[in-house]
């Protein structure tokens, strides 16, 4: 294995240390889980001690569910059904008021858990110093040890250095512990004898590894993790188990509470173990960078391998296996990729937080106040999910961006494996919904009673939502990966990758938040329209975010060329690699061909509608042929019940064809090229449709802008699936992602089409004037 490390490192290892690490991600997920699960446990604690109040709450909630999911509502229009549901507001407020007594218990659970964790974290260093009889290392006893340790701190740029303590009679390897700005490195007498005097290179590697924990700022997270897990078990799990076993519940209810307690406790402890494992990989990498080579760190890990392999190879292990650490030391790429379990955890954590926060918000609903009920309902259904999803998308973007960045530098496809994280993220969110559904099916002690038809309806809604969410999240992650590939050239020539990463995260979050907010507004507007709502109304309401997303999806990667223009000839920054520098060949986002494809497709459509308008100037046979194409479309549109489809269908087909052609190439940006071509074609067709069809003596500014928005929205919607299909075809095909300039023939075609179409526009405008 030592030989493999030496061989593999001929290609410089990528440096994961400048990026946000998985340590912070997993620690944040752990704290979120502990807080939310503690709230739920203390809610069950209250329910077990207040049986009569719980039964009233269950009866009230069951009646409310029966009314909201009344089958008779399905026979009414949207507006009437909404008005009927509003009548449940007083009952809803009454049910939620029954939740209010739980609030004090839930808050007390959070306070107790966090307070005990804080005390344990603060007192742990003093307890460890006393219990293990650790004393400061004297400057001259043993000779040279203290000076060697201080010299290593200088290499690690730790100022002030940690306190070095030891127990001359102890055995084992060094351990770093402490709290913020008060860190200790504990050595044993056996370690000093076996390494400092017998193997100075191994001594150096091991001490640098411990100092790396301080440099990576994971000591506080480590002991906060231990303290939080200890407090969670002591203050939340043990009391709930005691109350569950001795509260006199029915066997069915006791089994449910025990199963839920065991499942949630296992998730929390597994999350804590994952925090303690992942930090070791980053410390190994940092130590190898300080040491100038991974050889000595790898040799130490090889010596420790036998002991590591005796550990149970389960997720409960607090340290990773030695062979896994050596593999990551040789190739750091796994530290860049967002693991499927991490993506699942982010989605699951988002679902748990939304459920928990909504439970707290709903408990604040005042009784018999319809306006307040509406406000709190909006907060619970829109504000809370949006706020939580902003943080979740930020974490997801960081992981996907890092993975795509590493794939580009390693010469691999940046989309492969990273975009699928979006679907796993969506699945993680719905895992929590599945657990809630399991509770409804099992019929826990505090679960509302539902009929089989109601449960089936809820299941169908969640199944459809899961499919749509998985597709949406997959597409978002696919775009993030492709954008990261475009911005990698800017990142590697900057002082830090954080600018490009944070900029991509900000754009992703803004896009998701905007889509969410506009979707909420559009849904409320469509409900308000009631029977006046039509298919065209839905298209126009959906058009603004779709158009902005379509143009932004390729304009943002294209902006990387302008940011990186001044640095294009510079060598990669020193932080990019852990070892020697390496000359890179990075892909560039060049949408010239896609732009020309979209322009040509749009001009061809404009020429067609101009020929339709001015066909009377053509010979009879040409006039009949041109009108026959429109007549066939008009016949199809009339059979569909809307003659306006006759112009919408060719716009969609033209945009889809342009997107399919532009995306059918190999490379990281093929799908973005397809969206670019489709959206540009839509823009050209919108101008042509406005000038040739919509502008007349009766047209108004509002009607004209509505038509333009409709054409753009239809083209953007059609370009998206066509781009994905074209990208898949390009991946299977052999055409390369060429960067050659536009040929003279293509430029000539664009120029001639443009001249003819513009002449027709001038003729159309002169007829109106």
Percentage of the chain lying above the pLDDT 70 cut? 80
Residue 680 near residue 603, CB atoms below 8 Å: no
Distances (CA, A) of 48 to 138, 248, 257, 499, 641: 58, 9, 10, 51, 59
pLDDT at 311: 47
Summarize the confidence of residues 330-351 as an average pLDDT.
Answer: 89
pLDDT at 3: 41
Burial of 310 (0-12, 13-18, 19+ CB in 10 A): exposed
Confidence of residue 315 (pLDDT cuts 50, 70, 90): low
In this predicted structure, which of 415-424, 519-528, 586-595 has the lowest mean pLDDT?
519-528
In this predicted structure, which of 685-694, 701-710, 736-745 has the lowest mean pLDDT?
736-745
CATH 3.30.2010.10 maps onto the chain at 124-215
Output 244 or 75, whichever has higher pLDDT: 244
Q: Is the pLDDT of residue 472 over 80?
A: yes
**How does DSSP classify residue 72?**
G
Q: Is the pLDDT of residue 351 over 60?
A: yes
Confidence of residue 188 (pLDDT cuts 50, 70, 90): very high
Q: Is the pLDDT of residue 370 over 90?
A: no
Supply 320's token pair: 């990773």
In whole angstroms, give the CA distance from residue 658 to residue 522: 29
pLDDT tens digit string along 285-305? 999 999 888 999 999 998 875
Summarize the confidence of residues 486-503 as an average pLDDT.
Answer: 92
pLDDT at 116: 96
Averaged confidence pLDDT in the chain: 82
Q: Is the pLDDT of residue 528 over 70?
A: no
pLDDT at 307: 47
User: Residues 450, 451, 456, CA angle at the centre, nearest 5°?
Assistant: 100
Give the pairing type, strands 163-167 and 135-136: antiparallel
Helix (H) or strand (E) holding 182: strand 182-188
Q: How many residues does the chain have?
A: 769
Highest mean pLDDT, choosing among 109-118, 467-476, 574-583, 749-758:
109-118
Across the beta sheet with 163-167, what order do the strands follow? 135-136, 163-167, 182-188, 175-179
Q: Is the pLDDT of residue 497 over 50?
A: yes
Global pTM value: 0.86
Summarize the confidence of residues 278-291 as an average pLDDT.
Answer: 94
In degrees rounded to 5, what are phi and psi of residue 316?
A: -80, -10
pLDDT at 640: 52
In whole angstroms, give the CA distance from residue 380 to residue 354: 8
Confidence of residue 486 (pLDDT cuts 50, 70, 90): very high
In this predicted structure, which of 165-174, 176-185, 329-338, 412-421 has the lowest mean pLDDT?
412-421
Residue reference for tokens 């127990």: 167
Residue 337 near residue 419, CB atoms below 8 Å: no
Q: Is the pLDDT of residue 663 over 50?
A: yes
Q: Is the pLDDT of residue 143 over 50?
A: yes
pLDDT tens digit string along 374-416? 677 677 777 888 888 888 889 999 999 999 999 999 888 888 8
**CATH topology for the 124-215 domain:** Zincin-like (3.30.2010)
Q: Taking the mean position of all CA atoms in its chain, how far away is CA 477? A: 7
pLDDT at 260: 85
pLDDT tens digit string along 21-58? 999 999 999 999 999 999 988 888 888 888 777 778 77
In whole angstroms, give the CA distance from residue 428 to residue 704: 44
Percentage of the chain lying above the pLDDT 90 cut? 36
Supply 737's token pair: 């992602």
Report the SS3 class of residue 14. Answer: strand
Largest CA-CA distance found in the chain, in angstroms, rounded: 108
Helix (H) or strand (E) holding 338: none
């Amino acid at each position: 294995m030592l030989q493999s490390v030496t061989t593999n490192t001929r290609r410089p290892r990528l440096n994961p240390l400048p990026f946000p690490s998985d340590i912070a991600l997993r620690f944040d997920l752990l704290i979120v889980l502990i807080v939310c699960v503690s709230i739920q446990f203390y809610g069950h604690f209250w329910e077990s001690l207040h049986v009569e109040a719980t039964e009233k709450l269950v009866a009230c909630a069951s009646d409310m569910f029966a009314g909201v999911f009344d089958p008779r509502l399905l026979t009414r229009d949207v507006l009437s059904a909404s008005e009927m549901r509003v009548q449940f507001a007083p009952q809803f407020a009454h049910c939620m008021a029954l939740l209010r007594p739980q609030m004090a218990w839930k808050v007390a659970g959070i306070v107790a858990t966090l307070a005990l964790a804080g005390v344990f974290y603060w007192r742990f260093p003093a307890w460890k110093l006393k219990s293990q009889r650790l004393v400061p290392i004297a400057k001259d006893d043993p000779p040279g040890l203290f000076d060697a340790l201080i010299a290593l701190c200088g290499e690690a740029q730790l100022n002030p250095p940690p306190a070095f303590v030891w127990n001359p009679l102890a055995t084992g390897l060094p351990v770093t512990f402490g709290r913020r700005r008060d860190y200790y490195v504990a050595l044993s007498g056996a370690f000093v004898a076996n390494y400092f005097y017998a193997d100075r290179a191994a001594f150096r590697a091991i001490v640098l590894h411990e100092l790396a924990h301080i440099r990576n700022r994971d000591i506080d997270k480590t002991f906060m993790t231990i303290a939080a897990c200890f407090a969670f078990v002591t203050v939340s799990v043990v009391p709930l188990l005691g109350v569950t076993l001795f509260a006199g519940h029915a066997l069915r209810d006791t089994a449910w509470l025990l199963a839920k307690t065991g499942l949630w406790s296992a998730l929390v402890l597994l999350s804590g173990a994952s925090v303690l494992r992942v930090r070791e990989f980053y410390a190994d990498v940092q130590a190898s960078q300080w040491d100038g080579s991974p050889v000595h760190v790898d040799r130490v890990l090889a010596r420790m391998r036998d002991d590591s392999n005796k550990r149970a190879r389960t997720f409960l292990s607090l340290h990773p296996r030695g062979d896994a650490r050596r593999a990551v030391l040789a190739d750091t790429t796994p530290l860049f990729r967002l693991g499927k379990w991490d993506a699942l955890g982010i989605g699951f954590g988002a679902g748990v937080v939304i459920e928990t926060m909504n439970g707290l918000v709903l408990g604040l609903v005042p009784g018999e106040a319809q306006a307040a009920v509406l406000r709190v309902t909006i907060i619970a259904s829109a504000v809370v999910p949006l706020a939580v999803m902003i943080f979740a998308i930020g974490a997801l973007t960081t992981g996907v961006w890092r993975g795509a960045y590493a794939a580009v530098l390693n010469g691999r496809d940046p989309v492969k494996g990273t975009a699928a994280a979006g679907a796993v993220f969506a699945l993680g969110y719905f895992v929590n919904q599945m657990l809630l559904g399991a509770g409804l099916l099992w019929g826990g002690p505090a679960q509302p009673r539902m009929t089989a038809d109601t449960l089936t309806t809820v299941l169908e809604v969640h199944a459809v939502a899961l499919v749509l969410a998985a597709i949406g999240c997959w597409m978002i992650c696919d775009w993030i990966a492709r954008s990261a590939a475009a911005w990698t050239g800017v990142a590697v020539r900057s002082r830090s990758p954080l600018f490009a990463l944070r900029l991509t995260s900000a754009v992703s979050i803004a896009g998701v938040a905007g889509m969410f907010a506009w979707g909420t507004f559009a849904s409320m507007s469509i409900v308000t329209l009631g029977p006046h709502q039509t298919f065209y109304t839905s298209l126009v309401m959906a058009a603004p975010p779709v158009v902005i997303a379509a143009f932004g999806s390729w304009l943002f990667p294209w902006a990387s060329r302008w940011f990186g223009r001044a640095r294009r000839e510079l060598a990669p920054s020193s932080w990019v690699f852990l070892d020697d520098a390496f000359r890179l060949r990075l892909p560039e986002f060049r949408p010239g061909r896609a732009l020309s494809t979209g322009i040509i497709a749009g001009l061809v459509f404009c020429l067609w509608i101009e020929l339709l308008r001015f066909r009377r100037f053509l010979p009879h046979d040409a006039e009949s042929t041109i009108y026959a194409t429109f007549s066939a479309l008009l016949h199809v549109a009339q059979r569909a019940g809307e003659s306006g489809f006759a112009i919408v269908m060719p716009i969609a087909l033209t945009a889809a064809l342009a997107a399919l052609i532009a995306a059918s190439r190999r490379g990281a940006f093929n799908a973005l090229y397809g969206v670019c071509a489709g959206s540009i074609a839509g823009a050209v067709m919108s101008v042509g449709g406005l000038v040739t069809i919509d502008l007349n003596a009766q047209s108004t500014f509002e009607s004209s802008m509505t038509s333009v928005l409709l054409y753009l929205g239809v083209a953007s919607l059609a370009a998206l699936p066509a781009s994905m299909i074209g990208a898949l075809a390009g991946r299977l095909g052999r055409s390369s992602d060429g960067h050659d300039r536009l040929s003279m023939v293509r430029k000539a075609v664009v120029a001639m089409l443009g001249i003819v179409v513009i002449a027709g526009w001038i003729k159309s405008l002169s007829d109106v004037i």
